Amino acid sequence: MRLQIEKVVYGGAGLAHQAEAGKAVFVPFTLPGEIVEAELSVEKDAYGGAELVRVIEASSDRVAPGCVHFGACGGCQLQHAEYSAQMRMKAGILRESLERVGLVELPEVQSHGDAFWGYRNRIRLRIAEMDGALRLGYNRRGSNEFLPIQECPIAAPLLWRAASALLKLAETDKGAERWLRGAVEIEFFSNGDETKLQMTLFVRGALSADLKGLCERLRVVVPELVGAGVSILAKESALRSRRTERPAAGASWGAEGLLYRAAGADYWVSRGGFFQVNRFLIDTMVRLVTEGREGRLAWDLYAGVGLFSKALAKAFERVVGVEGSETAAADLAGTLKGPRTQAICASTVDFLRHTVIQRERPEVVVMDPPRAGLGADVCELLVRLKAAELVYVSCDPVTLARDLKVLVDGGYALVELHLVDMFPQTFHQETVVVLRRGA
Domains of the chain in start order, with CATH, are 2-62 (2.40.50.140), 100-114+274-437 (3.40.50.150), 122-261 (2.40.50.1070)
User: How would you write the pLDDT of the chain (439 residues) with one tens digit per residue?
Assistant: 999 999 999 999 999 998 777 799 999 999 999 999 999 999 888 899 999 999 999 999 999 999 999 999 999 999 999 999 999 999 999 999 999 999 988 999 999 999 999 999 999 999 999 988 999 999 999 999 999 999 999 999 999 999 999 999 999 999 999 999 999 999 999 999 999 999 999 998 777 779 999 999 999 999 999 999 999 987 655 444 555 567 888 899 999 999 999 999 999 999 999 999 999 999 999 999 999 999 999 999 999 999 999 999 999 999 999 999 998 999 999 999 888 999 999 999 999 999 887 878 899 999 999 999 999 999 999 999 999 999 999 999 999 999 999 999 999 999 999 999 999 999 999 999 999 997 6
Region for residue 232 given its phi and psi (left: phi exceeds 0; alpha: psi -120 to 50; beta: otherwise) = beta
Which pairing describes strands 364-367 and 389-394: parallel, antiparallel, or unpaired?
A: parallel
Burial of 244 (0-12, 13-18, 19+ CB in 10 A): exposed
Q: Distance (Å, rounded) from C-alpha 388 to C-alpha 438?
A: 8
Distances (CA, A) of 235 to 125, 206, 229: 19, 10, 18
Active-site residue set: 395
The closest alpha carbon to 59, from 90, 32, 87, belongs to: 32
Which pTM value belongs to this model? 0.93
User: Do residues 266 and 272 make contact, with C-beta atoms less than 8 angstroms apart?
Assistant: no
Element (H, E) at 295: strand 295-301
- Tens-place pLDDT, residues 216-253: 999 999 999 999 999 998 765 544 455 556 788 889 99
List 163's β-bridge partners, or say none. Answer: none
Element (H, E) at 287: helix 282-290
Q: Distance (Å, rounded) from C-alpha 348 to C-alpha 367?
A: 9
